[in-house]
Amino acid sequence: MGAQLDTSGVSTHSRRSRHRPMAEINVTPFVDVMLVLLIVFMVTAPLLTVGVPVDLPDAAARPLPEDNKPVEVTVDEYGAIFIGDAPVGAAELVSRLAAITGNRRDARIYVRGDQSLSYGRIMGIVGSINAAGFNKVALVTEQPR
């Protein structure tokens, strides 16, 4: 009951033991790539948000479904109005919105207002946008922590 010899005179037991498949997978390169990707995404994700930094209030409302990119109107803590990153005056806000949206009155407009501003100031801006015929105006808030 020993090892059998094949026609070449080599033991079949010793030949099998020399050419065993490797049962271990080296995951070190995989982990290295994943860590590099994690770092890249952590660095670039904050840079993807565009706009004027404001301290948004918290609200428990559900987020609106996204179907196309909305126009963002931002009112900073000093009351300055911006469309995207461009500052605009209160008098020219509606005309600039009409030009940006191509006079599409169903375009979505998100109003972001700093929480230190009075409610009346933000509602005045929302009211002027709505009075111009834009009917999809929404206020943006932060999710509660």
What is the rounded end-to-end Cα distance, in angstroms, of the chain? Answer: 72
The predicted pLDDT at position 59 comes to: 79
pLDDT of 32 reads 93
Render pLDDT for 77-122 as a digit per residue (tens, 0 to 9): 888 899 888 889 888 888 888 888 888 878 888 998 888 888 888 8
Q: Is residue 110 part of a domain?
A: yes
Contact 138, 109 (CB under 8 A): yes
79 lies in some domain: yes
Burial (0-12, 13-18, 19+ Cβ within 10 Å), 109: buried
Q: Identify the CATH number of the domain in which residue 113 sits.
A: 3.30.420.270
Q: Is residue 122 part of a domain?
A: yes
Same domain, 30 and 87: no
Per the structure, the count of domains in the chain is 2
Is the pTM higher than 0.75? The answer reads: no
pLDDT tens-digit readout, 23-37: 788 888 889 999 999
Range of the domain at 94: 71-139
Does residue 23 lie in a domain region? yes
